[in-house]
Chain A
Amino acid sequence: MESQGMKKITSVWIITILMLFVVSIVLGILMRLNQGGVIQEQTLTFYSNLTTHGLTMIGIWFVAGMMAVNYLMQRYVRTSFAVNLTALIFTVIGVLLLWLSTFAGKFNAAWTFLYPLPFKDFGASSWATTLFLISLAVFGIGWFIWCISLMANILKKYSLAEAFAWQHLRKEHKTDTPPFILITTVTLIGIITCLIAAVIIIVLFFAEMLSQGRFVNDALLMKNLTYFFGHTIANEMLYLGLAVIYELFAEVSGRPKWKTTWYVSLAWNCSLVFILTAFFHHLYMDFVQPEGLQIVGQLASYLASLPAAGVTVFSVFIAVYRTKIKWSLTNVLFFMGIAGWVIGGLGAVIDATITNNVVLHNTLWVPAHFHTYNAMGNVLFSLAFFYWFSTQSLENIRLSTAAKGLLVTLLIGGIGFLLAFYIGGSDSVPRRYSNYPASLKEAKPLALMGASFAIVYLIAILSFFYNISRRCLKILFASA
């Protein structure tokens, strides 16, 4: 059962994440306003804001998934409060160091910090790159310990084969693996893998920095490793959200709990393999990468997304189709989030197809699709969990008119914000431009449109922030 300590620390996580989320959205809106020509940020400020926004967003929605999974995992195995607290401390220190490197040091190499950008002198302070890498190392250590601890907790109770739900591939089996445990296992292994890739990148960066020119990195190796880490973690954090859905959707809807079947087991086992090789699609433009790996990238991109999406959508569809559902803010957010995840996923698969990538590469199509499955996918999964967590003790939470209004505001804001990216992308407007040249006529108005709708989205998020944080504060200060 969920311990009091775990409830309190989960409350702290939620409040911290929502606060950082609001700041990061404001940075995003400022970027869009700058691209629209309404405000004039210095180029260096734009790029350090881009870096802060990207990495903070990835960081907070990753830990949001982790802490939700950690909280729910107590239903099956005991988890460590101390490790959870350590991860929180490391995350907070990591964010402080990251922000110091970007806001004060003006580190500006974007969240992917692609080699050799961190070594290029665009006006950042000389210490900014080192501090940025240290901040990554701090995140990495905290999260690695967390993943290992959760994995060990699972393996105390389940054998490896059980954790992967392999027994479900046979007709007869004695034990059941809950889908939550299966998805969490698959995801944690993926995260451990990409965190190891991150360690290798950081070591290679430091090796070059400290060798005074005696050791130089191979740009292709660095790019492969960077996307191994970046692409994988960005996808695994979605899977954490899905684990939460598998655990809670049926429960909050008043339906029987979802069970692992052979196809659920097969789909998630496939996802583990394919998600680790899909990152090759980030290297389509790298002519020195052999063609075979490009093809692996395209195939893995399809195969990583289709099985997991297929079984999840199928399960949700079965759960809601022609059945009486107890709709609350929690399951509506889950439902909307799945729609966002699938739509964004389709956008991603379109981009991951080599012939399309020739046109869409590095256009606004890229932020369009990943913002869809993040801002209107994963964020909604986590908001649903936050809401469910903060209202657990309250009976009969129903969809009020105010809640419906809030959802509509979120939808309008989110869709408008994303549409501006999609239209820009299909018009070949490049991504990561601080100012658009006059020749891209539609880029500025689209940026303004994006900023306006993002403000509507922000209003909805502020309302969530207020309501959820208020209840979390109560949990935090409640006596045991």
Chain B
Amino acid sequence: MFKNIVCFCLAFGACLQLLAQTKVSALDEESNIYHRVFDAPLTESVSGQKGFLSQQYERKPLILALVYTRCTGICSPFLLQLKDDILFNLRDSSFRVVVLSFDPRDSKADMNSLQKRFGLEGNSQWLFATTDSIRSLNTSIGFAPVWDSLRKQYNHEALLVGINSGGYITKKLIGMRSSHDLEKMVTSIHNVFSPSYRLPGSSTLFSCFNYDPKSGRSTPGLGLLFVGLPAGLALLIVILLRLMVRKQTPAVPDK
């Protein structure tokens, strides 16, 4: 019987091991942080001039945005919001923005017309470019667009990568984010410590504190119960133990 229980537990454990995933998707924004970005060769969309990413970040820290011109989804609103935030909210010229196509089909001319569409052609802070080494760049920044042959579109995240003047990735932002987050990215590419904390989403069930961004106040959350639980349980166990063993006589007399 005992043997069966042990075997069952081992088999159950092995099954759990198969199910377990040790890499968690919620941590995508934290992947590749402080890694060096791949020094990709770039072709500028306006002048057709060739160069390297390092020539850009060595001059000024960079914000790298990954888009493709045939995107019918997130790329346009994403770029529009980025433009608005940088031109009208941040008004900070201490960094450059490189908008890079990750679609090998995009030509210099495609990127040039995208730049024109967004009215950024004459803006020296912005550089639209293509590269022939997108795979290596994607690996170095942890970006993995997936081609959907039915829709003829990429499934991809709207990704911004902050790169400091040493070529290190200091912060990543996934999705359409507030200008406050963008400010944090700008401070990080200037090597200023920026406190960051993963915001609890709907899948975070046990937060210690629930933060209300409107009032800026934290209220105790369900997770706090878990911090108090061990002491409460231990006390209960000790009291129960005493009740269970009380009736028995001492095994060894007093010394």
Contact = CB atoms under 8 A, between A and B. Distances in A.
Q: Do A and B come from one complex?
A: yes
Contacts, number: 145
A336 interface: no
B13 interface: yes
Interface string B197-219: 11011011111110100000010
Nearest to A191: B234
Contacts of B244: 152
Contacts of A290: 209, 218
A197 B229 CA distance: 8
A189 B204 CA distance: 31
A211 B24 CA distance: 10
B1 interface: no
Interface in B1-40: 13, 16-17, 19-27, 30-31
Interface centre among A77, A225, A287 (most CB of B within 10 A): A225
A452 interface: no
Interface residues of A, number: 56
Given A128-B22, A130-B17, A156-B250, 11 more contacts: A120-B31, A130-B20, A155-B238, A192-B234, A209-B20, A216-B24, A220-B207, A220-B223, A221-B206, A224-B208, A224-B227
A404 interface: no
19 contacts: A77-B250, A119-B27, A121-B23, A128-B22, A129-B22, A156-B251, A159-B242, A160-B242, A192-B234, A193-B230, A196-B233, A204-B206, A209-B20, A209-B21, A210-B21, A212-B21, A218-B221, A219-B198, A288-B197
Contact of B238 (A128, A192, A206): A192
A126 interface: yes
A116 interface: yes
Nearest to B205: A215
Contacts of B150: none
A120 B34 CA distance: 13
Given A119-B23, A209-B22, A213-B24, A220 B209 contact: yes
A225 B226 CA distance: 8
Nearest to A156: B245
A474 interface: no
B230 A216 contact: no
B211 to A, nearest CB: 7
A148 B234 CA distance: 10
Contact of B204 (A134, A159, A217, A228): A217
A470 interface: no
Given A217-B206, A221-B206, A287-B195, A206 B250 contact: no
B26 A218 contact: no
Query: 8 shortest A-B CB distances, which residue pairs?
Result: A78-B251, A221-B223, A196-B230, A193-B234, A157-B250, A197-B230, A209-B20, A218-B207
Chain A interface secondary structure, helix, strand, loop or mixed? helix
Nearest to A137: B13
Contacts of B227: 221, 224-225, 228
Given A160-B239, A200-B229, A221-B206, A120 B198 contact: no
A220 B19 contact: no
Contacts of B26: 213, 216
A218 B206 contact: yes
B237 interface: yes
B80 interface: no
Contacts of A225: 226-227
B146 interface: no
B62 to A, nearest CB: 24
Interface in A285-320: 287-290
